[in-house]
Amino acid sequence: MNLRWTHVTAGFVFLLLSGCSASGSRQDVPCELLRAGDVVFRRGNGTKSQAVLYADREGMYSHTGIVVQLTDSTLRIVHAEPDKTCGDSLKLETLKSFFSEKNAEKGAIMRFACSAECAAQAADYALKLYNAHSTVFDHDYDLKDSTQLYCTELVWRAYLHAGIDISNGRRTALNAPSFSGYYLMPSDVYKNEEGVVVYEF
């Protein structure tokens, strides 16, 4: 897929990736439905989310994260998101917070066709990165650099560590002043036919 932008400012493109079944409402997202390794998607309300969706023309979601299990068996979401107030390190939050009205107007939980052990291995890798406090948000969106990660890259690399490419090699082509090349967008993961949406709102 080739996206050619001719009138996009560098400033707008900078916002581009910063966001980046059962059905019901956000109020009744059943936490008991989750398992470690599930990938969560949300469509945000802000300018950054709209920029991601503008670039990811075939996408419904602007941000992703992965469900992890803590030592006390509680489930949380690890995700990569730039944050001027708290720094650019990986974030850990509850499902309720991730899907809050402030953060999401639409959301989905996807489970991939692999064993629970494989999914847990991906989740453990993401949690290990979070606990190390050394991985920061990748403002260059460079898939060749694994020391910094953006949201979709985080969940993709977590599953790569478990031996699965959840993007099936998909990339989205962009041609803009500050971003020209192939990027891993939320829809590149969401369109994987081996992923099953277990909940959406």
Residue 3 pLDDT more than 80?
Answer: no
Mean pLDDT score, 10-33: 55
Report the sign of the C-alpha dihedral through residues 99, 135, 112, 75, in that order: negative
Residues 49-96: tens digit of each pLDDT:
877 877 787 789 999 999 999 999 999 999 999 886 767 899 999 999
pTM of the model: 0.85
Q: Which of the four pLDDT bands, split at 50, 70 and 90, describes residue 9?
A: very low
Range of the domain at 157: 2-200
Q: In total, how many domains does the chain have?
A: 1
Of residues 153 and 55, more confidently modeled: 153
Give me the pLDDT at residue 96, please. 92
Give me the pLDDT at residue 16, please. 40
Q: Which two tokens stand for residue 127?
A: 């949690």
Q: How far apart are CA 40 and CA 91, in angstroms?
A: 14
Residues 26-41: tens digit of each pLDDT:
656 778 889 999 999 9
Q: How far apart are CA 50 and CA 47, in angstroms?
A: 5
Mean pLDDT score, 95-108: 93
What does the mean pLDDT of the chain come to?
A: 85
Residue reference for tokens 């694994």: 146
Beta bridge partners of 75: 69
Give me the pLDDT at residue 34, please. 92
Of residues 47 and 92, more confidently modeled: 92
The listed range with the strongest mean pLDDT (30-34, 171-175, 191-195) is 191-195
Residue reference for tokens 């650099």: 145
Q: Which amino acid is at 56?
A: D
Residues with Cβ < 8 Å from 25, sequence gap 6 or more? 201
How many helices (H) and strands (E) in the chain?
6, 12
Q: CATH number for the domain including 32?
A: 3.90.1720.10
Closest C-alpha among 91, 100, 103 to residue 131: 91
Measuring CA to CA, how many Å separate 32 from each of 3, 28, 185? 40, 11, 28
Residue 24 pLDDT more than 70?
Answer: no
Tell me if residue 44 falls in helix, strand or coil.
coil
Of residues 124 and 51, more confidently modeled: 124
